[in-house]
Amino acid sequence: MSTHVRHPIWLPALRPADARTFASLYAVESFARATISSVIPIQAYEILHNEQIVSILYTIVSLLGLSVTLFMPLLIRRFARRWVYTAGCLMLALGSVFFVTHTLPGQLAGMLCRVMGASALSITLNLYIMDHIRKTEFMQAESLRMAWSMFAWTGGPTLGIFLYTRFGIYAAHGAVVAFALALLALFWAYRLGDNPSIRPGKSRPANPLANIGRFIAQPRLRLAWLIAFGRSCFWTTFFVYGPLFMVITGEGKLAGGLLVSAGNALLFMAIFWGKAGKRFGGRRIMTFAYFAMAAMLFAAGGVGETAPLLTAGFLLCGALFTIALDALGSTAFMRSVRAYERAQMAAVYRTYLDFSELTPPLVYSVVLTFFGLGSVFVTLGILAAFCGFFTWRYLPKSF
State pLDDT tens for residues 2-59: 444 444 444 445 567 788 899 999 999 999 998 888 788 878 888 888 766 776 787 7
Q: Give, for 337, the enclosing helix (H) or strand (E).
A: none
- State how far the alpha carbon of 8 is from the alpha carbons of 119, 189, 287, in Å: 35, 14, 50
pLDDT score for 109: 94
Alpha-carbon 65 to chain mean position: 14
Does 201 or 241 have the greater pLDDT score?
Answer: 241
pLDDT: which is higher, 29 or 250: 29
Which range is least confidently modeled, 165-169, 206-210, 334-338? 206-210
The top-scoring range by mean pLDDT among 51-60, 192-201, 206-215, 371-380 is: 371-380
pLDDT in tens, 263-294: 888 888 888 998 898 888 889 999 999 999 99
pLDDT at 374 over 90: no
Higher pLDDT, 295 or 50: 295
- How large is the average pLDDT for residues 248-267? 80
- Among residues of the chain, what percentage have pLDDT more than 90? 36
Task: Identify the pLDDT of residue 197.
Answer: 46
pLDDT above 70: residue 1: no
Residue 226, pLDDT score: 95
Per-residue pLDDT of 120-141, as tens digits, reads 998 899 889 888 888 777 778 8
Average pLDDT score over the chain: 85
pLDDT, tens digit (0-9, with 9 covering 90-100), for 298-331: 999 999 888 999 999 999 999 999 999 998 888 8
Question: What local confidence, expressed as pLDDT, does residue 193 receive?
Answer: 66
Asked whether the predicted pLDDT for residue 253 surpasses 80, the reply is no
| pLDDT at residue number 11 | 44
Residue 202 pLDDT exceeds 50: no
**DSSP at 16:** P
DSSP 296: H
In terms of average pLDDT, the best of 15-19, 96-100, 240-244, 259-263 is 96-100
Quickly state the pLDDT bin for 61 (edges 50, 70, 90).
confident
Among 24-33, 151-160, 251-260, 390-399, which is the least confidently predicted range? 251-260
Question: CA-to-CA distance for 289 and 50, rounded, in angstroms?
Answer: 38
The pLDDT value given to residue 19: 84
Q: How confident is the model at residue 378 (pLDDT cuts 50, 70, 90)?
A: very high
Nearest to 68 by CA among 113, 34, 24, 27: 113
Judge whether residue 182 has pLDDT over 60.
yes
> Cα angle at 373 between 224 and 263, to 5 degrees?
55
pLDDT at 74: 83
What percentage of the chain's residues is helix, strand, coil (to nearest 5)?
80, 0, 20
Q: What percent of the chain has pLDDT over 70?
A: 92
Q: What is the helix (H) or strand (E) element at residue 114, kind and residue range?
A: helix 104-132
Distance CA 38, CA 268 (A): 21
pLDDT of 196 > 80? The answer is no
* pLDDT at residue 156 tops 60: yes
Higher pLDDT, 206 or 33: 33
Distance CA 130, CA 335 (A): 9
Q: How confident is the model at residue 206 (pLDDT cuts 50, 70, 90)?
A: low
Confidence (pLDDT) at 52: 65
